[in-house]
Amino acid sequence: MNCVRKINLMVVKINSLVTKLLYFTNFIKIFFIESSSVHKNGGLMLDNYFNYKKHKTDFKTEVIAGVSTFLTMAYIMFLNPVILADGGFDFGGVFTATAIATALACFIAAFYAKTWPVGLAPGMGINAFIAYGVCLGMEYTPAEALGAVFVAGVVFLIISLTPVRAWLINSIPKSLKLGIGAGIGLFLAIIGFELMGLTADNPVTLVQLGDVSNPLLLLGAAAFVSMIVMEKMNIKGNIIIGILVFSIIAWLTGYGKFNGIVSSPPPMTHLLAFDLGAALSASMVTVVFTLFFIDFFDTAGTLTSVANVAGKVGKDGKIQDIEKAMLSDSVSTVAGSMLGTSTVTTYVESAAGVKAGGRTGMTSLVIGLLFLCCLFLSPLATSLPKEVDAAALIYIATLFVRNISDIEWDDIAEAGPAVIAMIAMPFTYSISNGIALAFVSYAAIKIFTGKFADTSPAIWVVAILSVISFAVA
C-alpha cells in the first residue's frame, strides 16, 4: 500500500510539474510572440537596439532561437552542482551561482556583444578539472580553486584587449588543440563511467567492469542511448529530456528519491569566497594556465564554429566582432568566480539557436531569462540520480572526442603529441598533466627533427613552464 501511495503521490507531483511547464510555455508564447502590444512596442524598442532588419531576423525568430539554445544547454544547471560538489563545493550554493552566473553572462553578451546569438555558462570539462584535478587531486579548497578561476579570467580579459589574442590563437598547432579537446572528452568519460558504476576499482588492473546488474546503472545506460537516438531524430533538448525521463522512471520504481520541484533558491555559499592570495602563489601557476588555456581556446573554437553557421566570417577570413564576444566571455568568467562557480565559457550548443534563425543578442537575452527561471528548481536538481546524470557526461564526452578526425594522422610528429594529450588526461586523472605532456613532447619532437626555428615561441614558453611545474611538484 505504501508503494502505491508513493507512486500516486509522485504522479500527482509530476502532473503538477507538467501543468506548470504548460502554463510557463503558454506565457512565453503569449508574451513574446502573440502579444501585439509587446510586438509593436517592446519589439520595436528591441529592434532599434538589436537591428533585426540588418541581420535579416525578427523578434519572434530570436525568441525561438533563444529557447532552442536554452533547451540544448539546460543540462548544465543539474550537472555543474553535481560535479563541483564532488570537489567539496556546496551543492545548493553552486546551483544558485550557476543560474545567476549563466544569466548574467548571457545578458553581458546580449547587450555588449549584441551581434552574437550565443549562450554562456560554466563549462563542462573545466568544472571537472576543478573538482577532480584541483580540489581532490591537488587538495586545494574550493575558495583557492575559485581564486584560480578569477585570475585566469583576468588574464583572459587582458589578452582579449591586446593583439596578443590573435597571435596566441594562431600560435598553437591545430593538432594540439584537437588532441587536448579530445582528452578533455575522455576525462569526462571516465568520470561518467565512475558515476554510473560502469567501472570499479581493481588492485591489479586498476579498473574493472562494475556491477552491470545495478538497476540505476541500467537506467543511466538507457538514458545515454536515448540521448543519441533523440539526437539522430533532431529532437532539441535531447540531454535534458533524457535526464528527466529516466529520473522519473527511477522515482516511480523506487530507485531514486524525489525531493520536490520548486523552492526558494539556496543561499550563495561561495559568494565572494575566492582566495586570491593562494591563486597568485607559484604552486598555482599550472592550474591558472590550464584554466586560461581551456577557456581561451574553447571560446575561440566555439565562436569560430558559430560564426561560420551565422555567416559572420568576412571575405578576408576575419570574424566580425569576435573581440566583443571574447571580452564578454572573459568578463563572465571573472563574474562567475565571484559568484561561486567554475569558469564560464561560450557554449557550442549556441549553434542550435543560430540554426533556428538567431542572429543577434536578443537570442542571448532570452537564454539568460530562461536560466533565471531555473533558480527555483533546486529540489528537482537534488532528485536526479547520479547514474542518470552520468549519462549526460558520457554523451558530452562523445561530442568532445569526435573532432579527432581532423588531426593530421599522416604526420606522426603532429599526431603523436595529440595522442599523448588524449591518453594522459584520463590515465593521470588530470587535464593539466595532459596539456603539459602534450606541449613538452611536441617541443622535444620539433628539436630532434630540426624544426626548432619554425616553431612558435608560445610552444617553447608553455613547454618550459610545464617542465618547471613537474620539477617543483
Residue ranges per structural domain of the chain? 68-399
pLDDT for 168: 85
Q: Rounded distance, CA 325 to CA 300, Å?
A: 9
Q: Kindly report the backbone phi and psi dihedral angles of residue 223, in degrees, each rounded to the nearest multiple of 5, phi listed first.
A: -65, -40
C-alpha triplet 99, 65, 112: angle, nearest 5°: 65
pLDDT for 35: 42
C-alpha cell at 441: 613532447
pLDDT for 33: 47
Q: Rounded distance, CA 171 to CA 409, Å?
A: 20
pLDDT for 347: 95
pLDDT for 274: 92
**pLDDT tens digits, 409-423:** 999 999 999 999 999
Mean pLDDT of 140-164: 94
391 touches 82 (CB < 8 A):
no
pLDDT for 195: 94
**SS3 of residue 239 by DSSP:** helix
Look at residue 244 and tell me whether its pLDDT is greater than 80: yes
Terminal-to-terminal C-alpha distance of the chain:
59
Mean pLDDT of 154-179: 89
DSSP string, 262-292: --PPPP-TTTT---HHHHTSGGGHHHHHHHH
More confident residue, 468 or 225: 225
Alpha helices (H) in 233-360, listed in sequence order:
238-252, 276-279, 285-310, 322-339, 350-355
Residue partners of 412: CB distance under 8 A and separation at least 6: none
Of the listed ranges 38-42, 256-260, 278-282, the one predicted with least confidence = 38-42
- For 308-316, the CB contacts below 8 A with 24+ separation are 309/351, 309/354, 309/355, 310/117, 310/354, 310/358, 310/359, 312/115
pLDDT above 90 covers a percentage of the chain that reads 68
pLDDT for 55: 83
396 touches 78 (CB < 8 A):
no
pLDDT for 311: 81
- For 216-222, the CB contacts below 8 A with 24+ separation are 216/250, 216/255, 216/256, 216/385, 216/387, 216/388, 217/387, 219/246, 219/249, 219/250, 219/255, 219/385, 219/387, 219/388, 220/196, 220/246, 220/385, 220/387, 220/388, 220/390, 220/391, 221/196, 221/391, 222/246
Of the listed ranges 364-373, 395-404, 453-462, the one predicted with least confidence = 453-462
**SS3 of residue 313 by DSSP:** strand
Q: What is the mean pLDDT of the chain?
A: 88
pLDDT for 373: 94
Which H or E element spans position 49?
helix 43-50
pTM: 0.86
Q: pLDDT category, 12, cuts 50, 70, 90?
A: low
C-alpha cell at 92: 545548493
**pLDDT tens digits, 377-434:** 999 999 999 999 999 999 999 999 988 999 999 999 999 999 999 999 999 999 999 9
Mean pLDDT of 342-353: 93
Look at residue 17 and tell me whether its pLDDT is greater than 60: no
433 touches 290 (CB < 8 A):
no
Look at residue 43 and tell me whether its pLDDT is greater than 80: no
Look at residue 26 and tell me whether its pLDDT is greater than 60: no
